[in-house]
Amino acid sequence: MAIVNGLADVVAAETNVSLVDGKNGVLVYRGHFAADLARHERYEDVAYLLWYGQLPSEEERVAFYEEWAQAATLPSHVENLIDQLPESYGMMETLRTAVSAMGEETYSWPASKSQALRLTSAATTIVARRYRRLQGLDPIAPDLSLSHVARFLHMLEGNVPSEAHVAALNAYMILTAEHGLNASTFTGRVIASTQSDLASALTGAIGAMKGPLHGGAPSGVIDLLEEIGSEENAETVLRGKIEAGEKLMGFGHRVYKTVDPRGQALKQITLELKGRDPWFDLANHVEKIAVDLLAEYKPGRQLYANVEFYAAAILKALQFPSALFTPTFSAARMAGWSAHVFEQNENNKIIRPAAEYIGPMPKE
């Protein structure tokens, strides 16, 4: 029996949810390039695509948006739970606990699309409510007239967000909504394979995302951008780090051996918003200089900006503290996790790998 530690490159399922092609730098959601979706669709539309296999018609979109908005309001028992958690409960602990609390007895196997909508819409409300409570601020009720992403920003800040910031965060959340059979998605599918409910599967996925090896925040990239500070400092700082043997945070990826399509899509969004936020402009300049220097110092390594690099620029422009990075990532991934749970439900077989015993045997 072959043993593959970490199950790297082991194919455990067939899927039509997404294609992650690291060799060619391609990310596809249900037959659509994720980069195109990030530029032209709302997050809600992409969730619909992941769950139903196609983008909604105009009539379907109107009904879906209305149901989505209504689901953003939390049940009173969940609001009370969030407010009563001790301060030692951080953002990810709160999201994990609140999602679990929303899965009442009616959440049985198999999962339904309405359950996924309810949990995915509510996730940003959970994050925003807890964040404001930890800041000593009153929560802001969801404005049902806003889009999912605009509503999230409004609940965090209390102001109607700019179109540039909504477009940037919308693109980020679409591009992180799904990414194949990663650790958290696999966790969710394992739980679903036992015929457990959707809330349990998503709670488990959040637990996996909480680990720094999976849901690590792009804070290192923000530190790099802050150290550079202005475009004229970019080459000096970057060259110094490369010559000192330091890793440039936000460049290279363990899956993508060429350009990270998510990073490229976010780059395009920031280019289209050029001049509307200084952090977008700085990130574009730093990326160009860094890629040129990496090609000079490390020829043949194929090191390009990954999704974390431009995510950092967007989150910095939004003035998100690091405490919001992984919860926002997780709220975005709710759509992809749910899509995989549906797929697991459709052709279910319990996921039960074997282990080879290497311990001692009983003495005669």
Active site residues: 253, 308
SS3 at position 7: helix
Say how far apart CA 306 and CA 324 lie, in whole Å. Answer: 20
Phi, psi of 249 (to 5 degrees): -65, 135
CA-nearest of 92, 121, 182 to 335 is: 121
CA-angle at 25, arms to 19 and 31, nearest 5°: 35
Q: Is beta strand 32-33 parallel, antiparallel or unpaired with respect to 18-21? A: unpaired
Q: Is beta strand 26-29 parallel, antiparallel or unpaired with respect to 18-21? A: antiparallel
Determine contact, residues 114/106, Cβ cutoff 8 Å: no
CA-angle at 312, arms to 321 and 147, nearest 5°: 75
Residue positions counted in the chain = 364
Phi, psi of 211 (to 5 degrees): -70, 135
Given phi > 0 = left and psi -120 to 50 = alpha, else beta, which region is 136?
left
